[in-house]
Amino acid sequence: MAKFNWRALERKWQKKWAWAKVDQTDPDARRPKYFVTAAYPYPNSPQHIGHGRTYTIADANARFHRMRGYNTLYPMGFHYTGTPLYAMAKRLSQNDPEIVKTFTEVYRIPRQKFDQLKEPKRMAEYFRNDIKKGMIEIGYSIDWRREFTTIDHMYNRFIQWHFRWLNQHGYITQGTHPVAWCPNDKNPVGTVDTQGDIEPEIGESSLIKFRQGEIVYPTATLRPETVFGVTNLWVNPYDRYVQARVDEEQWIISLEAVATLEHQNHRISVEREFFGEELLWKTLTNPVTQAIIPILPATFVEPDNGSGIVMSVPGHAPYDYQALTELKANPSLTAHEKEVIEKVEPISVIALEGFSESPAADIVKKYGITDQKDPRLVEATKDLYSKEFHGGIMNENAKPYAGQPVEQARQAIIQELTNAGKLAKLYEILNKPITCRCGTRVVVHIVDNQWFINYGDPEWKKQAHLCLDQMAILPEERRNEFNYALDWLKERACARKVGLGTRLPWDPDWIIEALSDSVIYMAYYILAKYLAKDWVSFKRFEKSPEDLPDAFFDYIFLGEGSAEAITRETRISKRIIEGIRKEFTYFYPVDMRHSAKDLVSNHLSMYIFHHTALFPRNLWPKGIVANGFVLMERAKMSKSLENIIPLRQAIAKFGADPLRIGVLSTAELNQDTDFSESLVATIQERLVNLVAQSRKLGRRGVSGKSSSSTLDRWMLSRLNSAAQTATTAMEKLRVREVINTVLYQIENDTAWYQRRLGPRKKSHEGRDRVLKQVFDLKARMIAPLAPHVAEEMWASLGNKGMVAKADWPEFDESLHDSAAEAAESIIRQTLDDTAEILRATGLTPKRITYYSAAPWKWRIYQKALDMAVKSQTDQGNFIKDVMSEPELRSIGKPAADFAAKAIMQATQMKEELRNSRVGLGLKEMEILEDAKDFFSREFKAEIQVGQEGEKTVNDPKDRARSAEPFRPAIFVE
């Protein structure tokens, strides 16, 4: 195969699209609209193949809807907000070797450019440019007239309007809440601020205060109800601990816990520092049971986990059980220590069905764990925790709470101990460790007077659920994650002290953070077009956007007030103001929002929340696609693995269309897809082949004669059902199925069609007409996925206009032909059966005879199908019924035997196949006669066709009697 010039093909069509303004979309009252958006990119690095998946699916969706007659809008902006650009620019300024290496070796940015990238905004401009070029080069049908960035003045004004609105309507709270925090930046952190883009999850645990006289030993636990089962405390003898004044008390805690507590608004002064060893074998009092318990050594205790002191519940905590078991077996204990430890026995406090008195012992045995450093203890702990939480009942040892379910007892104990001053709250990062982009470990911090968006408001949650319930979620499997996220979201810090973005309008020390300034920007695409188009009208407000009144946005997005009043106030013409409003109500709501699955729990859920708050119900979002990631040769993509390929490099290397299909073809939406070079090579070959065949067909022209052979009808019937499959799949964005149908299934059918026809001859003039129809349809069906190749096919076949503007193929009932499909399946079956006989016998055939089943067999077979369709499948009755027909009875036992066989086949057959065969008046003899040339060509032998039971038929070996309907008997000589 000669090297195919992908770049030339892409440039050619991209120019034509631009010239024809295929991607530019304005309101059109005569057509229904479709509004697609994808999460706007963050320009602190180039996009890579992984990003390509989301935007390619969105583009395929946009192109599909355009072809189905929708006036489709697919715009794009750029998200500059937040700290990632700062962090990246800073690391580059410091010549961070990792960043320098990534920039030079992976991104291939010349070092001379580094100076200009050290300033965050210039870095953003650089990558924005690069990303935009990539999106054009891969052929996304984006309306670039609507492009904006989140630091544009007018965008800032839009966000301030939105936040003032939220504040006025009670969605913003100010308060003291725990937030995930970077101690280095002294700033809250969210998903976009962390390495690996992880959203920190904050959990609340209980610090239970054990006492030794006046000295408090606080232990952090998520299961305060197990305090009745505490047998001892654990400390790590090799870690540093301190005695400190904490608020009004004397506490013993690990050195690391000092910072943890300080971040959570405790006043602390450290008085003494020492090793944990010093605490061992002392005794103290359980604040709930008043039991006297010892402090024992354990190495699994982490000093940065909670207070660095752990309450031990060996009856119900696998770690504690394992540590105790090891300690009891320790040969180096003194006699006193032995005496102490022998008295320590697990105490059961929760009854759990299917478990003994000590569920922890059971589960440690089940997992086969023998070491307290075994990482499987994490899983064992989660496993037991969940079982006891959902099915456990407090027993007699937890006296006041005996008989209560675990969850209920937990709440009651927290309440009781808090009231008695025996319990304090401690917040922890549940999914730790999480690292800030600056390299510092993320902690929980309590900020006074921080600004929050109150996603915890139950009324708001109800609205969000209402919206979700009406939305299309693709893949549908993801819906539960949304339900969970809507429930889970609570007050969320919405402003930061540093970073790019919009200042909080009423408290300008704060900058609105990235996940909060990106929840309703889809509406801004409408306005952005006018800012560019009618820039003269807005020039004044570009310079001092603060002069643009809220009434402007109120009118455009909420329909409040009047255009006249705004014109008077702003001098922007009424025509423009009304135009924007009209365009907004035309395109809104968003029909489909695209993103990768990692944004479900944050961005996509907040997007739902905010739309339900600000907009009336008819403008709520209608659908979300959250696709899986892209793996690189089965491995996760990461900078450290150096397996990231920037998108533009990949386009240059593989071609836009092979790349588009490469990131979509190995998995359905919910799964991660695997990208591999060998796969792309196969795709390239298939696409090149499509172009070559289309060109050949185009050059040949199509003769006038229309065709109607069974084979032609079969091809068109198959093509038609492929169109139906592809349409249903595209509607659900099951793109892998579309690719399989277009690139593989139709391809196989076409190959069979050509093979059946044999060498090109005058006698089959309909061939090219049929093939042209096949390729026309293929070009249209592949157009959303491989738009450049599709245009080239479309034009080569001699079509006018662009395939991007052509109609998506409709299912045509009149082309469906069960008889033709059944006929071809007989030929295929017979071909396979013959080949199998030749293979098994090793014969080189001179003559092959096919015997079609006798008419009485067809009669029985049809009766059997009828009966199976009605699902009356009593074999005895069926045979009786058959034998009641005099004609069939006269055949005797063979008829009864065949009836038994036929009814079994008919009931076991796939429903679809059965339905297609019912009532088919098939002339199998004719079908076989017609295919004689074909079989003769395939097997290089003379072919005879006869019917079972006809006296004239040559049947020396008595083969004909094994013939069955749809399965002729075969005799090879």
Q: Which stretch, 268-276, 315-323, 421-429, 431-439, contacts Zn ion (CB under 5 A)?
A: 431-439
Residue 198 per-residue DSSP state: P
Cβ-based nearer residue to Zn ion, 152 or 185: 185
| Sign of the torsion angle spanned by Cα atoms 642, 195, 437, 50 | positive
Q: Which stretch, 429-437, 539-547, 549-557, 655-663, contacts Zn ion (CB under 5 A)?
A: 429-437
> What tokens were used for 92?
């580059």
Q: DSSP for 446-487, please give it.
A: EEEEEEEEETT-HHHHHHHHHHHHHSEEESGGGHHHHHHHHH
Crossing angle of helices 458-470/479-488, nearest 10°? 170
Cβ-based nearer residue to Zn ion, 181 or 541: 181
Cβ-based nearer residue to Zn ion, 184 or 708: 184
> What tokens were used for 44?
């602190």
Q: How far apart are CA 540 and CA 530, in angstroms?
A: 14
> What tokens were used for 922?
């098939």
Closest separation between CB of residue 388 and Zn ion, Å?
Answer: 38
Cβ-based nearer residue to Zn ion, 35 or 42: 42
Cβ-based nearer residue to Zn ion, 182 or 826: 182
By C-alpha distance, which of 337, 313, 333, 336 is closest to 323?
A: 313
> What tokens were used for 255?
């050195």
> What tokens were used for 873?
């499948």
Q: Residue 180 forms beta bridges with which residues?
A: 444
Closest separation between CB of residue 305 and Zn ion, Å?
Answer: 21
> What tokens were used for 866?
């009828």
Report CA-CA distances (Å) from 376 to 329, 363, 369, 429, 895. Answer: 21, 11, 7, 21, 66
Cβ-based nearer residue to Zn ion, 182 or 669: 182
Which helix (H) or strand (E) segment is 943 a member of? Answer: strand 942-947
Cβ-based nearer residue to Zn ion, 94 or 748: 94
Degrees, nearest 5: CA angle 889-892-894: 120
Cβ-based nearer residue to Zn ion, 440 or 567: 440
Closest separation between CB of residue 435 and Zn ion, Å?
Answer: 8
Closest separation between CB of residue 202 and Zn ion, Å?
Answer: 17
Name the CA radius of gyration of the chain, rounded: 37
The terminus-to-terminus CA distance of the chain in angstroms comes to 42
Closest separation between CB of residue 502 and Zn ion, Å?
Answer: 21
Burial (Cβ within 10 Å: 0-12, 13-18, ≥19) of residue 544: exposed
* Of the residues 243, 285, 440, 962, which one makes contact with Zn ion according to CB under 5 A: 440
By C-alpha distance, which of 22, 54, 57, 49 is closest to 141?
A: 22
Sheet with 495-496: strands ordered across: 495-496, 511-512, 502-503
Q: Which stretch, 407-415, 435-443, 656-664, 892-900, contacts Zn ion (CB under 5 A)?
A: 435-443
Q: How far apart are CA 887 and CA 892, in angstroms?
A: 10
Please name the residues in contact with 885: beta carbons below 8 A apart, sequence gap of 6 or more.
Answer: 859
Residue 436 CB neighbours (<10 A): 23
* Of the residues 36, 436, 631, 711, which one makes contact with Zn ion according to CB under 5 A: 436
Report CA-CA distances (Å) from 458 to 489, 732, 937, 961. Answer: 11, 32, 75, 76
- Taking CB under 5 A as the rule, does residue 88 contact Zn ion? no
* 950-954-960-961 Cα dihedral, nearest 10 degrees: 60
Closest separation between CB of residue 440 and Zn ion, Å?
Answer: 5
Cβ-based nearer residue to Zn ion, 184 or 829: 184
Closest separation between CB of residue 263 and Zn ion, Å?
Answer: 14
CB 195 within 8 A of CB 236: no
Cβ-based nearer residue to Zn ion, 184 or 370: 184
Residue 308 CB neighbours (<10 A): 28
- Taking CB under 5 A as the rule, does residue 438 contact Zn ion? yes
Closest separation between CB of residue 170 and Zn ion, Å?
Answer: 32
Closest separation between CB of residue 636 and Zn ion, Å?
Answer: 24
Closest separation between CB of residue 180 and Zn ion, Å?
Answer: 11
Cβ-based nearer residue to Zn ion, 496 or 597: 496
Q: How far apart are CA 529 and CA 967, in angstroms?
A: 65
Cβ-based nearer residue to Zn ion, 180 or 790: 180
- # binding residues, Zn ion (CB under 5 A): 6
Cβ-based nearer residue to Zn ion, 120 or 134: 120
Count, residues in the chain: 973
Cβ-based nearer residue to Zn ion, 438 or 467: 438
Q: How far apart are CA 821 and CA 826, in angstroms?
A: 9
Closest separation between CB of residue 449 and Zn ion, Å?
Answer: 21
Phi, psi of 266, rounded to the nearest 5 degrees: -95, 140
Cβ-based nearer residue to Zn ion, 438 or 722: 438
Q: Binding marks (x or -) toward Zn ion, 129..158, rule CB under 5 A?
A: ------------------------------
- Taking CB under 5 A as the rule, does residue 513 contact Zn ion? no
**Chain centre to alpha carbon of residue 580:** 34
Q: How far apart are CA 866 and CA 253, in angstroms?
A: 81
Closest separation between CB of residue 514 and Zn ion, Å?
Answer: 14
Residue 294 per-residue DSSP state: E
Closest separation between CB of residue 185 and Zn ion, Å?
Answer: 4
Closest separation between CB of residue 199 and Zn ion, Å?
Answer: 16
User: To which residue do tokens 């040969």 refer?
Assistant: 331
Footprint on residues 173-192 left by Zn ion (CB under 5 A): 182, 184-185
CB 792 within 8 A of CB 13: yes
Closest separation between CB of residue 189 and Zn ion, Å?
Answer: 7
Closest separation between CB of residue 436 and Zn ion, Å?
Answer: 3
Closest separation between CB of residue 184 and Zn ion, Å?
Answer: 4
Closest separation between CB of residue 220 and Zn ion, Å?
Answer: 25
Which helix (H) or strand (E) segment is 217 a member of? Answer: strand 215-221
Cβ-based nearer residue to Zn ion, 436 or 520: 436
Cβ-based nearer residue to Zn ion, 436 or 738: 436
Q: Which stretch, 409-417, 430-438, 552-560, 958-966, contacts Zn ion (CB under 5 A)?
A: 430-438
Q: How far apart are CA 960 and CA 957, in angstroms?
A: 8
Q: Binding marks (x or -) toward Zn ion, 755..784, rule CB under 5 A?
A: ------------------------------
User: To which residue do tokens 């996603």 refer?
Assistant: 455
Q: Residue 427 forms beta bridges with which residues?
A: 204
Cβ-based nearer residue to Zn ion, 500 or 596: 500
Tell me which residues touch Zn ion (CB under 5 A). 182, 184-185, 436, 438, 440
